Amino acid sequence: MSTRSIVIIGAGIAGLSAGCYARMNGYATQIFEAHNQPGGLCTSWRRRSFTFDGCIHHLAGAGPASKIYTIWDELGVLQRHQMHYFDDLVRVELPDGQGVTIYTDLDRLEGALKSLAPEDGPVIDEYLSAARRFLGFELLAMPLLTARDVPGLIGRLPSVLKWGRITLDQFAERFSNPLLRQAVPTLQYDFANIPVLLHLSFLAGCADHTLGWPSGGSLAFSRTIAQRYQDLGGQIEYDSPVARILVERDRAVGVALDDGAEVRADVVISAADGHSTIFDLLDGQFADGRIRRYYDAAPDAIDMSLCVAMGVARDMSAEPHALTLFLEHPVDIVGAPHDRLNVEIFNFDPALAPEGKTAIKVLLKSSYSFWKTLSADRIRYAEEKQRIAETVIAQLESRFPGLAGQVEVVDVSTPLTIERFSRNWRGLQAWPVPNQSPFSMFGGFTRTLPNLDCFLMTGQWAEAMIGISTAAISGRNAIQTVCRADGRRFRVERPGDAAG
C-alpha cells in the first residue's frame, strides 16, 4: 500500500523542506514543532530595536550558478528575499593596526596580497590558483550531483584531495610574511584544524556569487519557507512537543505528543535533534554501536556556542562585515585564554537595526559543562554572562573608540540557551564523523535507523554535516526516498506554478 500520510517532527529548515516537497507530491502532512515559531536553529531574535541573527553566515545556493539555487526557488525564498554578496570574506587585524583583507574578487585579492607580501609571491600564486580552480565547485551541493557532473568532479579530484589534507595552520607555515603567517589560520570562522579545501570552497563561492546572505536574516528566511509549506496546504502545529515515536512491530506508525494525543501516519520523519530522536523519542532501541560511538564522542567545547550580541548607536557601514581582532593581551573567558575576537558587523542589511545604528555579534568557543555546572546558581550564571559582555565590550573599545558608550542593548547566549530554545542536545549541532571523507555526504549518517521501517531522519544530524543548505537538501531527499518506495515520480513546483 502506498504512503498517504507523513508526520514530521520539527519545523526547522529540514522539516519545512520535507513538508514542502511532501505536499508537492500529494502527501498529507503535519509538522509538530515544540517552539512557537519555525526555524529551529535558523533563527533571529529581537532586542528593542535590534535584530540579532543566530544562524546564517553564508547561504549556499544564493546565486543562479549554484545547483542549490533551484531548491530555494522551489521553497519560495527567491520570491521574498534579495541576496547580498560580500566584497570580502574576512579582515584580520593585529593590535598594532596591521591587517589583511581577504577580498572575494580574486584578482583584487591577488594584488592586495602581493602588495603586502611580495616575498611570498609563489605561495600567493599557488593559493589564488587553487581558489580559481574551485570556482564553480560547490562542496555543499555534492549530494545533488548527477552522472553528468562526474567528469567535472573527476577533473577537480586532485585539487580536492590535495587541499583536503592540508589545514590552514599548516598552509600558513609556507608564508614568510609575519602577518600572513598569523592571519591565515583564522580565515575560516577561526575553527581549529580547518582544511584549506573548506576555505577555498567558501572563497570561491563568494567570488562566483553562489554564497550570499538573504535579506532579513535567518528567522525571516525560516518564516518564508514555513509560509511556502502552508501555501502548499501543509499544517504546522506549534507548541506541540513530541514525547515519543510510536512503534509497532519495528515499524514507525505515528507520534505521541506531550499532551497525550496520538497522531498516526504511514511514515514518520524526524527533523529534530538527533540525540533526542534516537535516545529519547525511540528510547535508544534502534541505535547500533556506530551510532552510540558517535554520540558518546560529543564535544564539550563547542565553537561559536557563546554569543555576545549588542546593538550600538553607531553607523558602522564603512567597517568590514567580518573582522578577526587579535588582542594585545589574551583575556580569560569561561576559564580559557582568548587572544582574538571574531566580530560580525551586520552593516549590510538595513532590516536588522535602525538607520545610523548597527547590530554586532561576537562568537566564542565555550564549554557546555562549564555553563551546566554554573546554572545551578542562577545569580552566578547571570554574573558570568555580564562579566563576559563587559570583557568583550572593553576589547572592542580599543578598536572602535567610544563604542562602550554607544551600546544600547546587550544579549549573551550560552550553550544552555541554545539547548533550551531549540532542544538541541547539549546545545550542539551535528559534527563530522571522524575520518570521514568529503564524499561520505552522499550516503549520510542516520537517514534511516537499523531495523526500523517507515521512518526517516532528515537534517544535519541525519547527514552528520552542518549547513542550512544541507538541511534543505536532506528534507528534499527524504521525500524522494518516500516517492521511490511508493513507485511515484518525484515532482517539484515553483510558487505560482502548477504541480509538475
pLDDT for the residue 147: 73
Dump the DSSP string for 34-66: SSSSSBTTS-EEEETTEEEE-S-SSEET-STTS
- Give the cell for residue 346: 551586520
Taking the C-alpha atoms of residue 259 and residue 244, their distance in angstroms, rounded to an integer, is 11
Taking the C-alpha atoms of residue 473 and residue 407, their distance in angstroms, rounded to an integer, is 39
What is the pLDDT averaged over residues 122-129? 97
Q: pLDDT tens-digit profile of 139-163? A: 888 888 777 877 777 778 888 889 9
What is the pLDDT averaged over residues 9-34? 98
- Give the cell for residue 174: 609556507
Taking the C-alpha atoms of residue 331 and residue 319, their distance in angstroms, rounded to an integer, is 24
Check residue 276 and report its DSSP letter: I
pLDDT band at 435 (very low <50, low <70, confident <90, very high): low
pLDDT for the residue 1: 46
Q: pLDDT tens-digit profile of 362-414? A: 999 999 999 999 999 999 999 999 999 999 999 999 999 999 999 999 999 99
For CA atoms 423, 433, 22, 80, the dihedral sign is positive
User: Is-contact 123 355, C-beta < 8 A?
Assistant: no
Strand ranges (DSSP E) for 249-321?
252-257, 262-264, 267-270, 301-312
User: Is-contact 365 303, C-beta < 8 A?
Assistant: yes
User: Is-contact 212 58, C-beta < 8 A?
Assistant: yes
Average pLDDT score, the chain: 94
Is the pLDDT at 500 greater than 50? The verdict is no
pLDDT for the residue 439: 54
Taking the C-alpha atoms of residue 294 and residue 2, their distance in angstroms, rounded to an integer, is 34
Query: Which helix (H) or strand (E) element contains residue 413?
Result: strand 407-413
Of 346, 322, 88, 64, which is closest to residue 209 (Cα–Cα)? 64
pLDDT for the residue 433: 81
User: Is-contact 471 459, C-beta < 8 A?
Assistant: yes
Torsion angle in degrees (nearest 10) through CA of 113, 114, 119, 124:
60
- Give the cell for residue 385: 554572562
